Copies of this chain bind each other. A is one copy, B any other.
Amino acid sequence: MAEGKIAVVEDEPTIARAIATRLESEGFSVEVASDGPSGVELCRRMTPDLVILDVMLPGFDGIEVCRRIQKERHVPVIMLTALDDETDKLVGLGVGADDYVTKPFSARELVARVKAVLRRVERAGRGEPPDAPIRVAGLELDADRRRATVRGDEVHLTPLEFDLLYTLAERPGVVYSRDALMGRVWGHGDSYGSRTVDSHIRSIRRKVGGDLIRTVHGIGYSFTEEPAT
């Protein structure tokens, strides 16, 4: 009775086995790949519920793997990085992973993160169970009511605009590439020009004010990171 299918892409056999064993003992069914190309292939074949990706991989790196699989279908991704700096870099690159775990990490920690991500995604997928409204920088987004207010005034957002803004506002400061946003909001990466994202960003800015969404030149967009005021 598998709770979920997890793909692990990690080239160090010791670590890969450790992760797999622990996750399996938690009731997940796990498969492992050890380089970039076969990681992409694995994701295609097993359609996992979540992917754990090492950044450093033979073939091509985890960033590239993440981009490719996100393009086909949005799958939650947790990235493993060697250093804190590396995490920062990834956040800035707009890879759009769901979580980042820095080595060394305990198996317990990884399992906790996996469960947290799955819980969040499942909730969003079923659509029903409530979520606390997001409040940042004068903006309030209530997913249950699909309502947005800026400094108390209600703003009407179209379905796509709401989802797009919600995705960004969920993690202020995290940069998403246009592809990553397409994957999350549209559910698939291709079949639309990526400038479509720009159009929607524009109308969101017009409605909620231009300074809430930051453009990261050459990479993508992110929600403005604001210290608590």
Contact = CB atoms under 8 A, between A and B. Distances in A.
Given A159-B217, A159-B219, 16 more contacts: A127-B177, A127-B179, A127-B180, A128-B180, A144-B173, A144-B174, A144-B175, A145-B173, A145-B175, A145-B225, A146-B175, A146-B216, A147-B173, A158-B217, A158-B218, A159-B218
A174 B145 contact: yes
Interface residues of A, number: 22
A222 interface: yes
10 contacts: A128-B180, A130-B174, A144-B171, A144-B174, A144-B175, A145-B222, A146-B219, A158-B217, A159-B217, A159-B218
- How many copies of this chain sit in the oligomeric assembly? 2
A3 B145 CA distance: 33
A127 B159 CA distance: 25
Contacts of A174: 130, 144-145
